[in-house]
Chains A and B, each alone.
Chain A
């Protein structure tokens, strides 16, 4: 995949994707819409302090070399451009993993989330010195334990997390995600548990944590993503009404990961694919050796584990804000 020649006129290099060729062979190739992307652009190169003035702020961005078009439908546009009617928005929501709310949010260990493949492994992890608590791992398929809690909101201290700011900066600009798309590797994960409609993500007027996320199996799982080994599930977005209230004893940031106005939240747990959940008496799936590690004394306590690390991608369906969660599937071997 070479760069395009950018020394002369602007040219447009167009190719059919592998999926486009497939659809053509099936006789149902019909283009009905388009979108724009800017994957190559690093907006941090936008330089307000350029000595030559405003015309040069984007000099480095405009000099970005662009790759040739390539045929994989996996990677055509990762980050699309968005349309909002308002031109005076200064903030856009981002997504963060919540590790603060009470008795609900799983904690990362280092930079990963452990997913115990079976009950035996969960018991061993809880007993290990390194983890020692259920809040440091997910248990495959569990809907009433710890889960990955994700929030969207404005990651800024410039704006107070008040109801008024939530309304004016987020709700009125259509920046609240009512659903999220979870993409996962279907070689390792079979399904995703997502919040029920009765879930809530809020605090009360005294600042107390009133978060209660209840999970059930995702409404739908689709493997027709156009991406290799990838399935998606849809998770409900719960209104994130954790507000900052003056004079409360409990800080709003003790409940939420954001300092600014919050938009929505969701929570997730995962079920490992059948075969990866075999306990020590059974035959360990060969996938652990093919895609991960086996017989590793992960926590230095004499128990050995097999692991596979995979990435879960969560994307807000309205705003397109995205986060990736590294999940290590772990199964006890001895």
Chain B
């Protein structure tokens, strides 16, 4: 059985397109990132790889089909960083990681096509505020969708000493530092360089009074945190104890984590300093809207078998009664009468020769 009565859509008057930005709030508590599913170095929701280049964090033990990948975390430094040394643990891999992020997100510079260096500001021309040793947090597309909404990124990190009464898997106690892209908005406070899309600066305080400690790349869904967050004694009275290994109580400073630890161990340390992450994501919805019109003299009869008893129309007692139908479904067809989309009304809609209806069907892509 098929439909016999079609109405053509006028492409000028009956169809239009719209673009809508949909935002969701994404809160990630530190307890999910570390502590809930075991203790560091053997947490069930953290996946390390034999190549040792990064670790993946899930919201549930990753061997479960219920687990969702929430972000990857890694670290690295530029070859001119003070941390760069052949004596450093995984020195080449850490440089490679830094360069990979830099070349993809920022591209190259100068006639020699040198890989650009991250800076904790929006101006790459002045080569100041360079961040040569960084942590990188790559958020899953499941969370960021099309992009992180500008001006919503918020990362709370502990800068306190791990030795100050802290036992794993708890977080180090304060003080905490809150990094936000407070200066960024849809219309200002961002820049673009290379192919990484727009980025904003992560400040530790209200802009412009705060200090830049990192960047957030909105479309790429990557946050970059400089190691200097933990360098300043004023912010980090226990700088010597950036990381305290749960298994044996071994402690090291931030510089020790960058030079003397493998990437995975250094990432463990950062995860245990993440108190909270939150941002709003953005989904761009492109919609086609079809205005399906039922004019007064159309669609007043039905081929529904129950419409007649014998051959007599059930909704009429005499010939001069108005015919009545009840619309429940709208079918959208191509020129070959193939049903491409279908829309259902939540309740029947009465159609008679005395009324005209325009039903707005929106298809989202």
Contacts and interface: CB of A to CB of B under 8 A. Distances in A.
Interface in A54-104: 58, 61-64, 66-70, 73, 76-85, 87-94
A11 interface: yes
A41 B328 contact: yes
Contact of A30 (B7, B8, B335, B339): B335
The number of chain A residues touching the other chain, given as a range, is 35 or more
Interface stretch (A43-51, A236-244, A283-291): A43-51
Contacts of B303: 79-82, 319-322
A20 interface: yes
A82 B301 contact: yes
A198 to B, nearest CB: 27
A136 B3 CA distance: 33
Dominant SS among interface residues on chain B: strand
The listed residue with most B CB atoms (<10 A of its CB), out of A36, A64, A181, is: A36
Contacts of A134: none
B346 A181 contact: no
A73 B3 CA distance: 12
B345 A68 contact: no
Interface string A20-44: 1001000011111111111111111
A81 B301 CA distance: 6
B3 A44 contact: no
Contacts of A34: 6-7, 9, 290, 292, 330-333, 361
B307 interface: yes
Contact of B311 (A12, A30, A93): A93
B304 A41 contact: yes
B325 A38 contact: yes
B64 interface: no
Given A42-B306, A87-B322, A260-B311, A23 B334 contact: yes
B2 A181 contact: yes
Given A82-B303, A87-B300, A88-B320, A62 B6 contact: no
Interface in B317-354: 317-320, 322-336, 338-351, 353
Interface string B284-327: 00001010101001111111111111111111111110111111
A232 to B, nearest CB: 9
Contact of B1 (A63, A154, A315): A315
Given A35-B333, A76-B329, A90 B316 contact: yes
B339 A20 contact: yes
B23 interface: no
Contacts of A82: 4-5, 299-303
A220 B362 CA distance: 37
Contact of B339 (A6, A11, A17): A17
B312 A83 contact: no
Given A76-B339, A313-B1, A94 B300 contact: no
Contact of A62 (B311, B320, B348): B348
A148 B346 CA distance: 41
Nearest to B357: A36
A129 interface: no
Nearest to B344: A69
A160 interface: no
A273 interface: no
Contacts, number: 283
B142 interface: no
Contacts of A10: 345-347, 349
Nearest to A181: B2
B361 to A, nearest CB: 5
B7 A81 contact: no
Contact of A67 (B288, B300, B344): B344
B359 interface: yes
B329 A85 contact: no
A87 B344 contact: no
B354 to A, nearest CB: 10
Contact of B6 (A33, A69, A156, A226): A33
A285 to B, nearest CB: 28
B5 A35 contact: yes
B300 to A, nearest CB: 7
B246 interface: no
Nearest to A40: B328
A250 interface: no
A19 B333 CA distance: 10
20 contacts: A4-B347, A10-B346, A12-B330, A12-B343, A32-B334, A35-B6, A36-B351, A46-B315, A58-B350, A62-B326, A80-B303, A81-B327, A82-B5, A82-B300, A83-B5, A87-B323, A88-B320, A89-B313, A155-B311, A181-B2
B287 to A, nearest CB: 10
Contacts of A70: 342
B335 A81 contact: no
A35 B331 contact: yes
Contact of A81 (B302, B332, B339): B302
Contacts of B15: 31
Contacts of B19: none
Contacts of B360: 12
A19 B325 CA distance: 28
A36 B362 contact: no
A43 B338 contact: no
A115 to B, nearest CB: 22
Q: Which of A30, A38, A79 has the most CB of B within 10 A?
A: A38
Contact of B299 (A36, A46, A69, A156): A36
Contact of A58 (B297, B309, B320, B324): B324
A38 B362 contact: no
A43 B315 contact: yes
Interface in B209-267: none
Contacts of A11: 345-346
A83 B4 CA distance: 10
Closest 10 CB pairs of A and B: A320-B303, A80-B3, A20-B340, A14-B343, A37-B329, A81-B299, A4-B346, A76-B342, A79-B304, A35-B3
Contacts of B2: 80, 181, 225, 315
Contact of A5 (B312, B323, B327, B346): B346
A94 B314 CA distance: 14
Given A13-B344, A82-B4, A38 B297 contact: no
A83 B5 CA distance: 7
A233 B141 CA distance: 49
